[in-house]
Amino acid sequence: MISKEQILSLLSEIPDPEIPVISIIELGVIRDISIIDNASISLKITPTYSGCPAMKQIEDDVRKKLTENGFTNITIITIYSPPWTTDWINAEAKEKLRKYGIAPPENTTEDKSWLTGKIKSIACPRCKSQNTKLISQFGSTACKALYQCSECLEPFDYFKCI
C-alpha cells in the first residue's frame, strides 16, 4: 500500500499556480491526507483565502496527479477552520519567494502592528533595502500587494500576511 510519505512526495511535484517556484505542500494548503486503500484517498485542503482563483487549479492538479498514480476514488474536502495563514509557509519556501522576486510575508499573523498604525517596512527582495513604498494594495493577484523599491527602483510583489 502507498504510504503518506509517497503521497506527500507526489504532491510536492505540483507547483503553486501563481508562484511556480514553490510547491503546494510548501504553500501549506494540504492539511490532511487519509489513504483508504490503493484506489481511494481523501484529502483536506484549506484555501489561502476565500475566493482565491488558484484553489480550483490546485484541486484539479491534485486530482490529475493522484489519478495518474492509480487512484480512482479521490475525495477533496475544503476546510476553512483553522484558516490558512502565511505562517504555514516554511522558511525555505520564503527564501525561494525572495529569489523569485516576491517579498515573502515578514510578520507573523501574531504581529499586531496594523492596530497601532505603524506598518513595518518591507525589504526589497532584490537589494534588501528597507526604503520601499506601497504602490497598490493589489499586485499581480489579490493576495499580493505591489511595492516599489526607492533604492533600485524595482517594483515587486509582496505576499500579504493573512
Binding residues (CB under 5 A) for Zn ion: these are 124, 126-127, 129, 149, 151-152
- Angle, vertex CA 78, rays to CA 34 and CA 96, nearest 5: 85
For Zn ion, the closer CB: 60 or 95 = 95
Nearer to Zn ion, 15 or 155 (CB): 155
Q: Residue 153 CB, nearest distance to Zn ion (Å)?
A: 7
| 73 and 100 Cβ atoms separated by less than 8 Å | no
CB of 122 to Zn ion, least distance (A): 11
Name residue 139's amino acid: G
* Min CB(124)–Zn ion separation in Å: 3
Cβ distance to Zn ion smaller for residue 94 or 98: 98
| Dihedral of alpha carbons 68, 71, 75, 81, sign | negative
> Which amino acid is it at 128?
K
User: And the C-alpha cell for 125?
Assistant: 527582495
What is the closest distance, in whole angstroms, from the C-beta atom of residue 127 to Zn ion in the complex? 3
At how many degrees (to 10) do helices 4-11 and 54-68 cross? 130
Widest distance between CA atoms in the chain: 56
Nearer to Zn ion, 76 or 152 (CB): 152
